Amino acid sequence: MATTKRVYERLAPVYDLDDVMFAGAKQHWRKKIIDKLNIENAKLVLDITTGTGRAAKILSKRVKDGRVIAVDISKNMLKIARMRNRGRDNLRFILCDAAHLPLKGDVFDGVSCMCGMDTVDAPEAVLSEAVRVLKNKGRIGMLYFSEPKGWLRYLDALLKKYHSVIWNTKNVDMASMI
Ligand SMILES: C[S@@+](CC[C@H](N)C(=O)[O-])C[C@H]1O[C@@H](n2cnc3c(N)ncnc32)[C@H](O)[C@@H]1O
């Protein structure tokens, strides 16, 4: 089993503690980024690296008559996501690698990826899949750790120590990939 997948299979029962440690900041940013997707009238929205399904829950509440598909590579993370979202009929979870989405191209009005691009093994492949499945004029919203500058490097080093336990994160330079 690849390392990232193995890490999240193990972390799943404690992963949501990370939201507690961030004192609501992560959820605040998930909502802010989802606001920018403008998906109120969307028919189909995708959440990649959905984890325990927090962003998927926001998305499923936001789309009025649309549907949400949420994918993750970890069975144990998805187990929690399904429990969190029990009864949400417009939301479906799929166990798969976001670098090889088993989904048709050009069908989603919006794609979100929260705290995921800095986690996946192949961010370029995941971004390229997100673009492939996105409709023309659709939007992608991402929340991730970028390369820190100035004093933020010290904070980053501290966070890395903590995150090596609870969040398998690495910095990514999405701007240059985009
Ligand atoms: C830091 S968690 C983020 C979870 C959630 N999106 C959130 O906002 O809290 C990263 C998630 O990415 C998933 N993941 C890592 N590599 C993946 C891949 N190649 N395809 C799909 N999911 C992946 C992990 O299993 C984990 O659930």
Q: For 116-162, what is each residue's pLDDT tens digit?
A: 998 899 999 999 999 999 999 999 999 987 666 777 777 777 676 66
Q: Is 19 inside a domain boundary?
A: yes
Tokens representing 8 are 């999240």
% of the chain at pLDDT higher than 70: 89
Residue 55: CATH number of its domain: 3.40.50.150
178 is a domain residue: no
Distance 98 CA to ligand 1 centre (A): 9
Instruction: Please state the rounded mean pLDDT for residues 25-50.
Output: 96
The answer to whether position 177 is within a domain reads no
Q: Tokens in use for 104? A: 């048709």
Residue 176 located in a structural domain: no
100 within some domain: yes
The residue whose CA is least distant from atom 14 of ligand 1 is 49
Convert the pLDDT of each residue in 82-126 to its tens digit: 999 999 999 999 999 999 999 999 999 999 999 999 889 999 999
pTM of the model: 0.90
Strands, E, within the chain: which ranges? 44-48, 67-72, 91-95, 108-114, 134-143
Sheet hosting strand 44-48, strand order edge to edge? 91-95, 67-72, 44-48, 108-114, 134-143
Please state the domain count of the chain. 1
Which residues' Cβ are closer than 6 Å to ligand 1? Answer: 4, 8, 30, 49-51, 54-55, 71-74, 77, 97-99, 114-116, 119-120, 167
User: Is 175 contained in some domain?
Assistant: no
Query: What number of other Cβ atoms are within 10 A of residue 85's Cβ?
Result: 22
Range of the domain at 108: 3-170
Query: With the C-alpha atoms ordered 32, 34, 35, 36, is the resulting torsion angle positive or negative?
Result: positive
